[in-house]
Amino acid sequence: GENVEQHPSTLSVQEGDSAVIKCTYSDSASNYFPWYKQELGKRPQLIIDIRSNVGEKKDQRIAVTLNKTAKHFSLHITETQPEDSAVYFCAASIGSNYQLIWGAGTKLIIKP
Amino acid sequence: DTEVTQTPKHLVMGMTNKKSLKCEQHMGHRAMYWYKQKAKKPPELMFVYSYEKLSINESVPSRFSPECPNSSLLNLHLHALQPEDSALYLCASSQEGLGSGRFFGPGTRLTVL
């Protein structure tokens, strides 16, 4: 079955710098890749997603890139701000499969 | 309305109690989900309802019983839980079809004594 690995488990960056979180997946049939942000004590929130027919997607300071050949996708956050501090989860799914296979999460710490 | 709501926010129950968690969405989503989340872990899928019918049961113990009374409501009935069932229970909804993002409710923090 599908497996998603996420790195790093913790990422500490200076406010204003960029942050990059990477995920790799095992099943080449995966075609939907969402990213969720979860602040402490709150719900996971969908922040950006990408489908396999697209290589990159951007929304203001957040971007996601997908390399289907290498089977990895990455979240890029530019000009980081204190409110970006949270746990970020990547996930992958196949077709209309209801299953989302989740990465283990990355705790992002923004240092003032 | 673009939110998923859940009640209660917190629940403490004994191992012999019966309680229910409730979830509501008015986004017209036809897929609804129950997830369980332990601290520092990703959400773990429990059940999926599609068009008010149970589509997926991820081998969840029978002490958890889901119910979908209509397209906007989802319940999770709890009975004879164990302390290890203590967790954050998240409801989510999504559109049907390829690659639909999940919209999560705020969750119910459950403690089983």
The sign one gets for the Cα dihedral A61, A39, A89, A9 is positive
Q: Which residue of B has its CA nearest to A92?
A: B99
Whether the pLDDT of residue B98 is over 80: the answer is no
Helix, strand and coil in chain A, % to nearest 5: 5, 55, 40
pLDDT at B52: 94
Closest approach of B88 to chain A, Cα-based (Å): 9
- Averaged pLDDT, B45-65: 93
> Is B98 at the interface with chain A, CB within 8 A?
yes
Least confident of B1-5, B22-26, B53-57, B104-108: B1-5
A36-92 tens-digit pLDDT:
999 999 999 999 999 988 899 999 999 999 999 999 999 999 999 999 999 999 999
Residues of A at the B interface, defined by Cβ within 8 angstroms:
31-32, 34, 42-46, 49, 51, 87, 89, 91, 93, 95-96, 98-100, 102-105
Would you list the DSSP string of A53-89? T-SEEEETTEEEEEETTTTEEEEEE-S--GGG-EEEE
What is the pLDDT at residue B2? 67
| B55-65 average pLDDT score | 93
Q: By three-state DSSP, how is residue B21 classified?
A: strand
Which residues make beta-bridge pairs with A74? A22, A65
Chain-chain contact of B98 with A46 (C-beta, under 8 angstroms):
no
CB proximity B48 to A under 8 Å = yes
Q: Mark A98-112 as b/e (b = at least 16 C-beta within 10 Å).
A: bebbbbbbbbbebee
pLDDT score of A86: 98
Report residue A2's pLDDT band, with 50, 70 and 90 as the boundaries.
confident
A1-8: average pLDDT: 93
Q: How distant is the Cα of A75 from the closest Cα of chain B, in angstroms?
A: 16
Tokens 């673009």 -> residue: B2
Give yes or no for residue A9 having a pLDDT over 80: yes
B101 CB within 8 Å of a chain A CB: yes
Q: Report whether pLDDT(B40) > 70.
A: yes
CA distances from residue B106 to B10, B20, B63 in whole angstroms, order as listed: 11, 16, 23
Q: What is the pLDDT at residue A96?
A: 67
Q: Do residues B95 and B30 touch, judged by C-beta distance below 8 A? A: yes
C-alpha–C-alpha distance, residues B8 and B20, integer Å = 9
